[in-house]
Structure 1
Amino acid sequence: MRTALIILSFLALFLLPEKSRAQQVDDYIQLGLKNNLVLAEKNLSLDKALNGLKMAKNMYLPTIGFDFTYTHADGGRSIDLPVGDMLNPVYNTLNQITQSNAFPNIANEQITFLPKHYYDAKIRTSMPLFNADIKNNKAIKEQVVTLGQKEIEIYKRELVKDIKEGYYTYMSAADAVAIHESGLQLARESKRVNEKLLDAGKGLPAYVIRADAEIAQGEAKIVEAKQQQQNAKLYFNSLLNRDPQDAIELDSTLLSNKTTVPDLNSTFAEREELDALETNIHIQELLVKMDKQVFLPKLNAFVDLGSQAEQMRVNSQSQYYLVGAQLSIPIFAGNRNKLKIQESEISVAEARNKLDQAKQQLQLAVQVASNDVIAAHRNYESSKIQVNAAATYQRLIQRGFNEGVNTYIETIDARNQYTSARLANNISTYRLLVALAKLERESAAYPLD
């Protein structure tokens, strides 16, 4: 409980400063969430999953298609019809009775089985009446969409942390440049004083030479610090998908403001990773359900409206309609369905095991992040004391040197101590902010839209 209160007090001091700073950092975060390329790719994947869900829903709708078949054949099997042999004697008798030729003789017929110049054109409408696979597939697609949404939220939280760390790194590098430039000014002032003392016959040439060396060393450190600042700038702008040389606004009130924060409790219960793993378990369970329903019948209905005839004739006799239903029931598949069910059940067990592992890892991560915040804050408080002590010591030594009490070497040592203390305070300050950003990430505390 005491640890949690300490962490909350740290958060109150550093994590959520007042409006000016929060607005500035949040603007960069919102810009990153809008422009980041990896996030854009994940949004495209989510759009694909949403499109798959729409397709699964549309499986319930009927399908309508037009089919046209044209065939022509000659030869093949045939059947002889002796209609002439059967009817010609009758026709001859009728002609004799009527004393006319009203009933002419006809020839025997040969009917082939293969049609000649035959067509069949139809519009078929089919619709599933009962199909468990369609229902289960729709449910799985819904879970895939949910999983995609959780993956986006997971990356957003990671991106927020990276943006904050990148911003703090740039701020630290900028402060380091300012610290080295301040030290360089002190070295140049020391050289000016020593040159005047030398001109007055009270100084030593060695002091001027030492001052030149100190100035050269300070200039080299400034070049190195500016290079680190430039690298931090490139990385930060890449996170925001901006031009690498875009300016980054510095926040001079980064640690000077205080406000209240909600009770975060430093838990991992809000982590989207857990929701994603729960969704994965649900998907695997739906696959088991689908595999177990493999023996359920599938019933489809269809209606055909068309025309069929030879010689491309279209009339009332060629037109037709056909209504039907198709029932499909699997009976035996060599136990493959049973083995598939067992495989899916193993996948469910694996998914549950991953969830248990994730809970354990996330709990550890939150505890480690909390400990890092406590340690970083202690170092930060210690560094502030060191800065104050080094500043006081440097002033006293410089005053003593001006009065002829202390040596020039002591002033150099005092300035170096002061510069080192300021650099250490700079590092500890931003390490604390980075530790707070990591704790915020591990506890899923940053509010996402």
Structure 2
Amino acid sequence: MTETREIQRTLDLALRLGEMLLTNGAGAADVTATMSSVAHHLGLRQSLVDVTFTTVQMSYQASPDDPPVTAIRHVRQRETDFDDLTRADHLVRDLLADEIDADEARIRLAQIASTGHRTPRWAVTLSWGAIGAGIAMLIGGDWVVTVIATIAAMGLEILQRYLTRLRLPFFYAQVAGGLFASLLAVGAAAVDIPADPSLVITASIVMLLAGLGFIGAIQDALTDFYITAGARILEVLISTAGLIAGISGGLTVGRLLGVDIALDPGASGLSQFPLVVGGAALSAGAFAFAGYAPSRVLLPIAAIAGVAAGIYLLLAENDLGRAWPAAIAAIFIGVVSYAVAGWAQVPPLVIVVSAIVPLLPGLSIYRGLSLLGAEDYSGILQMITAAAIAISLAAGVILGEYVAQPLRREARRLEHRLAGPRLVGPLRARAVRKVKGS
């Protein structure tokens, strides 16, 4: 392939695929591997790929005597759209399997980029309400707290969608979300609603943390993409700082009005085990639905999240701290998600990001804010605990993926060795070339 036009068309296809994957939270290593595979399959050997947080760049030089051809695309917006991510993943698989050619791949990619969401907006808002209800159940809230958390979650979704349309930086959207949640809790406490407002705020913290790039940041750091990892970590820190600023402002307003809600919500115990598992399953499944995940994977995500929350609770109740139980539960998510993703024909990222939502450290962040608001500097330790939990979750999930891949390869080899006597039909048949006249 030496024609400049064909080289540019191939680079453009690979770049658009990389941009779509990066926009929807894929790690830099995954984006680089995908772009390189597509370019190599279409005839560009030894192409160079450079992925940062805001740009994807690709260049190719046909021979030492030819000038290199370079193309760049900028990533201007980021959103969680598991449907687009899944369709782009299927497109790459079909292209590499020669089921479609480059022209059809371009057409399909354009359709993915231009097609709107199939889920109506009101359904997404209701699903965010379900996330709030699930988190409230998870942290031990009663039915009153669950109702308030549901209303708060839907209000947060509407508010942040409006602020996104105004093109405000995400930091201010997080500030507004934290302020809205805390003021709603202050209002509930002011009118003597029989509910623990601190649980409402804790549930809101988890919802505002959901979807941030914890996993992608740690994955980039572990795979030597340090510039992208640093940018993603900075984005997460700024978003979390905005959340903390908003909630702190709401608590301050409450104290000025004589409404003190700096309570310390207790953690759920083993007596609430069914409620914890059910709340985790509901919140994870609802988050996947809000992220436009394919319907076939919603129940598996809910089941994985419920079991992971149960593992976390059992280990945390045995005085193992918070970080190690979170890491072990995340490893479980990573291992199981890899196998379930193959069955459901979705990228593992869809399952991992959704199933990890119930384990996000909202409780530790609120405890830290409550202590700092009371001028107790042990709240800094709670903030460090929250950071440790977040890192444990991301690192544990990625370790689970590393463990699952060789296990799956060995299972396939074992399947071949144990594949015989079959009760009906072959388990894995090879195509047999027929001889003429037979």
**Same fold by TM-score greater than 0.5:** no
Q: TM-score w.r.t. structure 1 length? A: 0.20
Which structure's relative contact order is higher, taking Cα pairs within 8 Å and 6+ residues apart? 1
Q: Which has the larger strand fraction?
A: 1
